[in-house]
Amino acid sequence: MAGGGVAIVVALSKVEGVLHMAAPTPVPRPAPNLSSSVIRVLAQPWLDRSIAAVACVPLAYGAYYRYTHFGHGLPLIAAVLNTSILVITMVIRRPPKRVTPNPWYWLLAFVASYWLVFIIFFLQKGSPRVANWITDSLAILGLIVVLWARLSLGRNIGMVPAQRELVHTGAYAFMRHPVYTGVLITSTAFVLRAYSPLNALLMGLGVFWFIPIKSLVEEDFLRHDPQYAAYMQRVRARWIPFVI
């Protein structure tokens, strides 16, 4: 009886092994991409214009209230102008040759581009940490960098990772993401002018969406283009020339 039991156990083990070998290995499914028809709708210029027009109303009111009541001064104005320059001028963008279908990239781009609109009414009065001339100088520098980058791009601007004409002159001859550098400088100026833990958190998250998340996502999409891959090798700095 004992021998028969052992034989049954051995036979069952062999059957289990065969079934285990025959069972297909589950393959993880990739995240669903946006359909081409959805992308065509989202890429329509009228949609950009509508969203930008709606977003500018609360942004302008929130900026005005905090400028007059909280004394946030030039750093706030520079931050608002940065957002306005990028959002409003996207209506003249060049049609992309290739655009990412990844819905998470689209969501990230939307949140990063309109982040100041989302947080403007949560910003506190705060208190200055350095002299006003320092924060004003940083705010002007950040705004100049964004303007320089925006002029360098021309019509080759977009909210989501997309392949347009490669720009490698102007600000882009020194760093691959000069717009985000300007955002970093301006955000630093604002936090130093109106420091509070909440302000630092909100502005820090705004920088985080751009540096490093959005810039790395864009490069991950664009590096498959041989021209952009060569550009990455030629211009090593992402945000600060000759540093990082």
What's the count of helices (H) and strands (E) in the chain, helices before strands? 11, 2
Give the pLDDT score at 47.
66
pTM: 0.78
Give the pLDDT score at 178.
94
Give the pLDDT score at 96.
66
CATH for 39-234, options being 1.20.120.1630, 1.10.1740.10, 3.40.50.1000, 1.10.3260.10: 1.20.120.1630
Average pLDDT, the chain: 81
The vertex-165 CA angle with 161 and 166, nearest 5°, equals: 80
The model's pLDDT over 166-193, given as tens digits with 9 standing for 90+, comes to 889 999 999 999 999 999 999 999 999 9
Give the pLDDT score at 172.
94
**Sign of the C-alpha dihedral computed for residues 92, 97, 102 and 105 taken in this order:** negative
Whether 5 has a pLDDT exceeding 70, the answer reads no
124 vs 208: CA distance, rounded Å: 20
Whether 214 has a pLDDT exceeding 60, the answer reads yes
Give the pLDDT score at 100.
73
Whether 78 has a pLDDT exceeding 90, the answer reads yes
Give the pLDDT score at 41.
62
Higher per-residue confidence, 163 vs 59:
59
Q: 205 falls in which pLDDT band (50, 70, 90)?
A: very high
Element spanning 99, H or E: strand 98-99
**Sign of the C-alpha dihedral computed for residues 51, 57, 60 and 61 taken in this order:** negative
Q: 18 falls in which pLDDT band (50, 70, 90)?
A: very low
